[in-house]
Each structure stands twice: as structure tokens, then as C-alpha cells.
């Protein structure tokens, strides 16, 4: 039986969704597959996010992550939207929730670190709740 698939969705798939994908792979790899995507793409992942994820977790998001649109995702079981303050596209799934995160792009490292910590906390909560969501 395959592991559940969790997709972290944000409009540009350049910052928060990539942080969530990376932390999902680090913290939840034994129980789910982690993906990120958006409705638009950017040429690269936000470089502040890349730098801070390397600094805090020793994760190089550019090693195997890239900005992609939702059309390339496999069948997804759980959709987590990041809180883009727009109507996210419909993606069929068994469970959907919004994490309501402000975009730290262009802000200070402290703002990025708060966002990263919030994503880590929400990820740990998701891991605990996952069996009841499916």
C-alpha cells in the first residue's frame, strides 16, 4: 500500500510551499510523500528560504525541488494551502486545509525564521493528525 500524498500549494510555488515540502520530507517521510506546487512558477526557489533552510536544517531545497504547477502532481490525498489570500485552484483530495501563512518574501531573516518555525509546528501537528484525516 502506498503512503498518503500531501501537497503544499501556494500561488508561485517559490517559498512557503517549498519550505513545507522540505520539512515534510524531513519530518514525515516515514508516513507520507511530500510535494509542493502552485498555479504559476518562478525561475527559482526564494533564495532567502534556501539559505535559511540550509542554515537551520542543513536541507538544500535546490537539490531536488523546483517550482512547478499543480498539473504535474500525482493523485493527492491531502492538500494544504499556504494562505495566499486568493482562491486556490480545486485539487481533488480526501482532506483540505489552509495554514494561513503570511509570505515572508522580501522581509527580514527574523520574519522568515518565524514562518519556518510555524511551518515546522504545523507539520508536526499534521503528522499527529494524519491517520484521522484519511
CB 8 within 8 A of CB 20: yes
pLDDT digits (tens), the chain, 134 positions: 789 999 999 888 889 999 999 999 999 999 999 999 998 888 999 999 999 999 999 999 999 999 999 999 999 999 999 986 666 667 889 999 999 998 999 999 999 999 999 999 999 999 999 988 88
Alpha-carbon distance values, 122 to 39, 76, 101, 132 (Å)? 23, 19, 11, 16
Q: What is the pTM of this model?
A: 0.94
- Please give the CATH topology (third level) of the domain spanning 8-126: Rossmann fold (3.40.50)
Report the sign of the C-alpha dihedral through residues 3, 24, 63, 81, in that order: positive
CB 33 within 8 A of CB 3: yes
Q: Provide the residue ranges of all domains of the chain, joining segments of one domain with +.
A: 8-126
Amino acid at each position: 500500500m502506498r503512503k498518503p500524498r500531501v501537497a503544499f500549494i501556494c500561488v508561485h510555488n517559490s517559498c512557503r510551499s517549498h519550505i513545507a515540502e522540505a520539512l515534510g520530507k524531513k519530518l514525515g517521510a516515514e508516513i507520507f510523500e511530500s510535494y509542493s506546487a502552485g498555479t504559476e512558477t518562478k525561475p527559482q526557489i526564494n533564495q532567502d528560504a534556501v539559505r535559511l533552510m540550509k542554515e537551520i536544517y542543513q536541507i538544500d531545497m535546490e537539490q531536488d525541488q523546483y517550482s512547478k504547477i499543480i498539473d504535474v502532481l500525482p493523485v493527492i490525498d491531502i492538500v494544504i494551502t499556504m494562505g495566499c489570500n486568493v482562491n486556490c485552484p480545486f485539487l481533488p483530495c480526501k482532506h483540505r486545509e489552509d495554514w494561513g501563512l503570511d509570505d515572508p518574501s522580501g522581509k527580514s531573516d527574523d520574519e522568515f525564521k518565524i514562518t519556518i518555525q510555524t511551518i515546522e509546528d504545523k507539520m508536526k501537528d499534521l503528522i499527529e493528525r494524519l491517520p484521522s484525516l484519511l
